[in-house]
């Protein structure tokens, strides 16, 4: 029996249950709004969003693997491609392009033309330091950590701050080898 071929982002997206995009956007907006009220500091909100994303990411990875039939990636390049073409498509309904590789192949940019999180959003003057979509970077960081890749994910460009696209910078810090988890003393 041949293993199932990995499914494309479109194929998975077509099969999963979806929720109305506006409901999703507005719910996310309400969460950010509430965090701003509760935490007051914009920096704290960025941190909190990242942490929430991380918690989502460490669970979401299993759903991603189970539904997409993606097996282990050979290198970080393939990983970035899979995130951009399958992962984002499956959960957000958009795709990103992967660009700006550095020479070692350990960091790259994901450029999103379209971002469903930010419809109807404008940043007021008091929130200029806010990374509104910081939850996304947390999700990616959490998911990659579960497949043994320690990464750093940061926003480089943000349309809400007047840039021309959304750009996430992915940097691979280290790949954690699989170790025998028990001590020898028993």
* The one segment of 40-48, 154-162, 165-173, 176-184 that binds another protein by CB under 8 A: 176-184
Q: Give the span between the Cα atoms of 169 and 131, in whole angstroms.
A: 14
Report how far Cα 60 is from the mean position of its chain's Cα atoms: 10
Q: Fill in the per-residue mask, 6 to 35: x = in contact with another protein (CB under 8 A), - = not in contact.
A: ---------xxxxx-x--x-----------
Within 8 A by CB and 6+ apart from 5, the residues are 69
Q: Which of 34, 71, 100, 128 lies at the binding interface for another protein (CB under 8 A)?
A: 71
Query: Which is closer to another protein, CB of 59 or CB of 161?
Result: 59
Binding status of residue 92 toward another protein by CB under 8 A? yes
Q: Is 42 exposed, middle or buried (0-12, 13-18, 19+ CB in 10 A)?
A: middle
Q: Give the span between the Cα atoms of 177 and 92, in whole angstroms.
A: 30
Cα angle vertex 165, ends 164, 170, to 5°? 135
In whole angstroms, the minimum distance from the beta carbon of 80 to another protein comes to 14
Query: Which is closer to another protein, CB of 46 or CB of 115?
Result: 115
* Residues at the interface with another protein (CB under 8 A): 1, 3-4, 15-19, 21, 24, 58-59, 61-63, 65-67, 70-74, 90-93, 116, 146-149, 175-182, 186
């Amino acid at each position: 029996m041949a293993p199932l071929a990995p499914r494309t982002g479109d194929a998975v997206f077509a099969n999963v249950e979806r929720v109305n995009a506006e409901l999703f956007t507005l719910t996310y907006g309400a969460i950010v709004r509430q965090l701003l009220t509760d935490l007051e500091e914009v920096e704290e909100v960025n941190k909190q969003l990242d942490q929430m994303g991380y918690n989502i990411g460490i669970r979401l990875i299993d759903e991603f693997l189970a539904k997409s039939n993606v097996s282990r990636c050979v290198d970080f390049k393939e990983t970035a491609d899979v995130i951009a073409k399958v992962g984002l498509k499956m959960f957000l309904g958009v795709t990103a392009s992967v660009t700006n590789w550095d020479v070692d192949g350990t960091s790259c940019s994901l450029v999103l033309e379209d971002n469903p999180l930010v419809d109807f959003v404008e940043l007021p003057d008091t929130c200029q330091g806010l990374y509104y979509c910081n939850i996304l970077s947390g999700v990616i960081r959490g998911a990659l950590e579960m497949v043994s890749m320690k990464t750093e994910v940061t926003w480089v460009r943000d349309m809400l701050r007047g840039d021309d696209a959304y750009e996430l910078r992915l940097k691979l810090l280290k790949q954690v080898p699989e170790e025998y988890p028990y001590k020898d003393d028993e």
